[in-house]
Amino acid sequence: MNERSLRDGLATTWLGRTMFYADSVDSTNLWAARSSGTNPQVEGAVFVAARQTRGRGSGGSRWYSDDTDGLWFSIVLREPVRVQPLSFLPGVALVDLLRQEIGVDAHLKWPNDVLVGDRKLAGILVESQQQSDASTAWIVGIGLNVNQVAFPPELADTAVSLRLLTGRPFRRQSLLQRLLQQIERIYRTDVDVVQLWRTRTRMIGARVRATRRGVPSWVHVVGVNDAGHLQVIAADGSQQTWVSSTDLDLGREFGE
């Protein structure tokens, strides 16, 4: 991969037309944020790294990406953001790519995970950044496990890669180009990304193991509201709306 090869064959109109590549960075999200300097970010700029030494996961966790087996990149989007919630967009696009072009039956786990079976194939981290002109840029980080044949012990039971799923290696460059095309296709003012999200998850109607503020219980997922918040019936029968996953750990188990 390099900047030129990433641009060659890219079929998008605007997304990734500004493309940066590095063999190694701390985190593509941090790199994208740093790169703004005194110039506001370019809409649709994409930052790709072959490996990350300090990949960032959701909730302040680390994202294992200190190898060149995955696809690690970040997209910059400027206000006004056309799709809400923005964090749903990459997952929907990735599930479409996996199902339509690769034959992998992926599905979404609230809020932002892409799973195959009960294993995590990809994660998404959206962060905002104040620009020098007082506007906001959104940095959409996507990590997709591609060619890993094994994971570190702490991930061995929960993570999966495309290679492990299909038995063959993939070109990360081609995956990136096709994923950017899917994202650009969906990123339109009139798209109801929540509805797209709902039709690509198995959670709605399922019983799910959830740990909230350290307390585990089974909850029944009723739906996702138009703002993208998770609606559940808790173990005590109360209806609850969960806004973010910061104090919530949805277990891997789906009940019957």
Binding site for ligand BTN (CB under 6 A): 27-29, 52, 55-58, 61, 63, 65, 72-74, 113, 123-125, 141-143
Residues 6+ apart with CB under 8 A from 219: 207, 208, 210, 232, 233, 234, 235, 240
Number of separate helices (H) and strands (E) present in the chain: 6, 12
What's the rounded Cα separation, in Å, for the pair 149 and 178? 23
Between 122 and 196, CB nearer to ligand BTN: 122
Between 20 and 73, CB nearer to ligand BTN: 73
Between 98 and 235, CB nearer to ligand BTN: 98
Q: Are 213 and 128 in contact (CB under 8 A)?
A: no
Between 134 and 156, CB nearer to ligand BTN: 156
Q: Are 216 and 251 in contact (CB under 8 A)?
A: yes
DSSP-based three-state secondary structure for 173? helix
Across the strands, what pairs with 119?
116
Q: Could you tell me the two tokens for 93?
A: 């696009």
Between 116 and 142, CB nearer to ligand BTN: 142
Task: Tell me the residue nearest to ligand BTN as measured from the CB.
Answer: 123
Q: End-to-end CA distance of the chain, in Å?
A: 44
Q: What is the closest distance, in whole angstroms, from the C-beta atom of residue 125 to ligand BTN in the complex?
A: 4
Residues 6+ apart with CB under 8 A from 120: 109, 113, 114, 145, 158, 159, 160
Q: What is the closest distance, in whole angstroms, from the C-beta atom of residue 66 to ligand BTN in the complex?
A: 11
Q: What is the closest distance, in whole angstroms, from the C-beta atom of residue 218 to ligand BTN in the complex?
A: 23
Q: What is the closest distance, in whole angstroms, from the C-beta atom of residue 119 to ligand BTN in the complex?
A: 13
Between 90 and 232, CB nearer to ligand BTN: 90
Between 115 and 165, CB nearer to ligand BTN: 115
DSSP-based three-state secondary structure for 184? helix
Q: What is the closest distance, in whole angstroms, from the C-beta atom of residue 221 to ligand BTN in the complex?
A: 19
Q: What is the closest distance, in whole angstroms, from the C-beta atom of residue 115 to ligand BTN in the complex?
A: 11
DSSP-based three-state secondary structure for 168? coil
Q: What is the closest distance, in whole angstroms, from the C-beta atom of residue 108 to ligand BTN in the complex?
A: 12
